[in-house]
Amino acid sequence: MLKQGTFDLKTGAGLIACPRCDALHVEEELQDGETARCIRCETVLASPRGGAFVRLIALSFTTMVLMMGAIFFPFLEISRMGFGNATSLFGVVLAFADGVLLPLVLLMLVVVAGLPVLRAFLMVYVLVPLAQGRAPYSHAARAFRWSETLRPWSMAEIFIIGTAVALVKVAGLASVHLGPAFWAFCGLILVNVASRSFMCQTTIWDAIEDSGLATDGRELVDPNAQASRT
């Protein structure tokens, strides 16, 4: 464990690089409410907020509950001249179950519903012990890395924007009533925005490292092996 303000150029321990411009900074422990910005491009490097872990856990559970509603409640109801039909996302999957579009529908279900729920589970797995001040679970570093890798692929917002565009087209042909699942998706977008505003990856990595868990393998480097390579 390095002392505050010291760093090791061989391993990179004690240094933090700006994710946008790569400027290197000496890492310092921040107090809650402080913000560290890049000296060159002013990108936020870290901004720990008090109680952020507990809020992120709460938002992850909210995501799971809302997603259940978003999948199984009716998404929309279309009616014209007295005939109507309502369906849920799960109903759409069942309707395509024996068609050639099944792989596409399953892929849609995975990126729209599966990945956000999986990320919520990973966040709970990583953050619950940290929020309680205990040592994290043994795969916490890998779980958080996966959660960050999957972030661009969870597409609930894109789905709702696409649906809104399609609804504008359909609204001229028949009357469309939005079901509870649509509003659950809108709620998911707000939860996602809130979750991003509390999320500080640097702080979470720092908390995992401070509890003694190896995050990038540099703690495991054998100094003799390092010397023979250089």
> Where on the chain is the footprint of Zn ion (CB under 5 A)?
18, 20-21, 23, 38, 40-41, 43
* Contacts (Cβ under 8 Å, ≥6 apart) of 192: 63, 116, 156, 157
* Residue closer to Zn ion (CB basis): 38 or 207: 38
* Residue closer to Zn ion (CB basis): 38 or 67: 38
In the complex, what is the shortest distance from the CB of residue 39 to Zn ion, in angstroms, rounded to a whole number? 8
In the complex, what is the shortest distance from the CB of residue 31 to Zn ion, in angstroms, rounded to a whole number? 22
Residue that the structure tokens 């464990």 belong to: 1
In the complex, what is the shortest distance from the CB of residue 34 to Zn ion, in angstroms, rounded to a whole number? 18
Rounded Cα–Cα distance for residues 173 and 80 (Å): 8
Rounded Cα–Cα distance for residues 26 and 16 (Å): 6
* Residue closer to Zn ion (CB basis): 20 or 80: 20
Q: In what order do the strands lie in the sheet with 83-87?
A: 83-87, 76-80, 175-178
* Residue closer to Zn ion (CB basis): 23 or 155: 23
CB atoms under 10 Å from CB of 15, counted, come to 14
In the complex, what is the shortest distance from the CB of residue 36 to Zn ion, in angstroms, rounded to a whole number? 11
* Residue closer to Zn ion (CB basis): 40 or 218: 40
In the complex, what is the shortest distance from the CB of residue 24 to Zn ion, in angstroms, rounded to a whole number? 10
Residue 87 CA to its chain's centroid (Å): 28
Cα dihedral value 134, 137, 138, 139, nearest 10: -140
